[in-house]
């Protein structure tokens, strides 16, 4: 017998498993497709905060998770021996006009109050150079909270740490002990099929990986594009948002458009070779908030799903609060994340 069975070896499932193992629980992870087979096997890895205004429990949860991420991933790497590619390198965003500049200054005040002095949101003059994006006002927003990791490698690093602690990751097995379903967009489809209306859906995203060494530079967020330099001398560009799709993992002309936009935004990419393209389907709940807590259709079992675009940023704290709930009966999950909110 194991104490916890986790179905799903993506970011949420592996983080829940790891946090339970750290509490001394015996854990088995089951995924027929293997580690990071779904959207968690992506290439972008932008761990970016919501804007510091109109504060709510979702933003507060994300802040706490982003602030604990450095220690979380350092421990994973130390135990398992594989790097997740994590670094808190910050982010630049161009400021389009006078109204945007005013909002950016207001948000700097909000960040000073809300981010506990552990990160900053500042308006700075563009330093120029080949990495700085064009900015009509001459200013950039520079936040120091944004971090990066390599999603697929982060999952492999978690899997290595889990195995190093003697836990099993298998293609199949029985549900024993506390049971958690972290099965991504297919799991949301299953719940919708059991319900009278949409619970959640899969949103496809495409991304492109380029060969360009900018590992020490901040991420860029330009006209909806996340441009993320990784430690291995690559830069990821993503992603699209596709509600309707035929192929969950097929790339098409929308990847071409991403590449054109990235080359226009960053002069340094003009000659950067393309390495690969990626596509996957991310799980989005009806409320757009993660679903953490008791499973609404499996009495006595639990769910961790709906990470969508912020799953890796939320994963460290999501794992901790799920371990609190399942192993200690302590519920500190925000009410907005209650799975019943998406019903």
User: Where along the chain do its domains lie?
Assistant: 4-86+147-198+286-342
pLDDT at res. 343 = 87
pLDDT at res. 24 = 97
Query: Within 13 Å and on the Cβ side, how many CA atoms surround 219?
Result: 29
pLDDT at res. 59 = 95
Q: By C-alpha distance, which of 11, 110, 12, 30 is closest to 333?
A: 12
pLDDT at res. 271 = 87
pLDDT at res. 109 = 96
Q: At what angle do helices 151-164 and 57-80 cross, to 10 degrees?
A: 60
Q: Note the CATH number of domain 4-86+147-198+286-342.
A: 3.50.50.60
- Per-residue model confidence as pLDDT tens for the chain (343 residues): 899 999 999 999 999 999 999 999 999 999 999 999 999 999 999 999 999 999 999 999 999 999 999 999 999 999 999 999 999 999 999 999 999 999 999 999 999 999 989 999 999 999 999 999 999 999 999 999 999 999 999 999 999 999 999 999 999 999 999 999 999 999 999 999 999 999 999 999 999 999 999 999 999 999 999 999 999 999 999 999 999 999 999 999 999 999 999 999 888 888 899 999 999 999 999 999 999 999 999 999 999 999 999 999 999 999 999 999 999 999 999 999 999 888 8
Q: How far apart are CA 24 and CA 147, in angstroms?
A: 29
SS in 3 state form for the chain? Answer: CCCEEEECCCHHHHHHHHHHHHCCCCEEEECCCCCCCCHHHCCCCEECCCCCCCCCHHHHHHHHHHHHHHHHHHHHHHHHCCCCCCECCCEEEECCCHHHHHHHHHHHHHHHHHCCCCCCEEEEECCCCCCCCCCCCCEEEEECCCEECCHHHHHHHHHHHHHHCCCEEECCCCCCCEEEECCHHHHHHHHHHHCCCCCEEEEEEEEEEEECCCCCCCEEEECCEEEEECCCCEEEEECCCECCCCCCCCCCHHHHHHHHHHHHHCHHHCCCCEEEEEEEEEEEECCCCCEEEECCCCCCCEEEECCHHHHHHHHHHHHHHHHHHHHHCCCCCCHHHCHHHHC
């Amino acid at each position: 017998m194991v104490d916890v069975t986790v179905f799903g070896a993506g970011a949420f499932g592996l983080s829940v498993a790891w946090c339970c193992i750290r509490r001394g629980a015996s854990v088995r992870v089951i995924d027929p497709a293997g580690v990071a087979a779904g959207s968690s096997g992506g290439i972008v890895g932008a761990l970016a905060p919501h804007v510091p205004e109109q504060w709510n429990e979702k933003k507060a949860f994300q802040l706490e998770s982003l602030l604990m991420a450095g220690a979380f991933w350092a421990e994973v790497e130390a135990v398992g021996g594989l790097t997740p590619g994590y670094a808190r390198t910050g982010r630049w965003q161009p400021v389009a006009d006078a109204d945007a500049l005013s909002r950016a200054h207001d948000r700097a005040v909000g960040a000073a109050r809300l981010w506990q002095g552990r990160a900053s949101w500042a308006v700075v003059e563009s330093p120029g150079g080949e990495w700085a994006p064009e900015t009509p006002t001459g200013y950039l927003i520079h936040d120091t909270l944004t971090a990066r990791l390599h999603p697929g490698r982060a999952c492999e690093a978690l899997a290595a740490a889990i195995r190093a602690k003697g836990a099993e990751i298998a293609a199949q097995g029985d549900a024993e002990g506390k049971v958690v379903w972290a099965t991504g967009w297919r799991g949301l489809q299953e719940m919708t099929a059991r319900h009278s209306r949409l619970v959640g859906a899969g949103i496809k995203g495409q991304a492109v990986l380029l060969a360009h060494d900018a590992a020490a530079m901040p991420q860029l967020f330009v006209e909806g594009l996340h441009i993320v330099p990784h430690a291995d001398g690559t830069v990821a560009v993503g992603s699209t948002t596709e509600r309707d799709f035929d192929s969950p993992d097929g790339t098409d002309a929308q990847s071409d458009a991403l590449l054109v936009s990235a080359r226009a935004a960053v002069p340094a990419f003009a000659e950067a070779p393309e390495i690969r393209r990626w596509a996957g389907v991310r799980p989005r709940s009806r409320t757009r908030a993660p679903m953490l807590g008791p499973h609404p259709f499996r009495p006595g079992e639990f769910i961790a799903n709906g990470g969508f675009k912020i799953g890796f940023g939320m994963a460290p704290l999501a794992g901790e609060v799920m371990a609190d709930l399942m192993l200690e009966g302590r519920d500190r999950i925000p009410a907005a994340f209650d799975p019943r909110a998406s019903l």
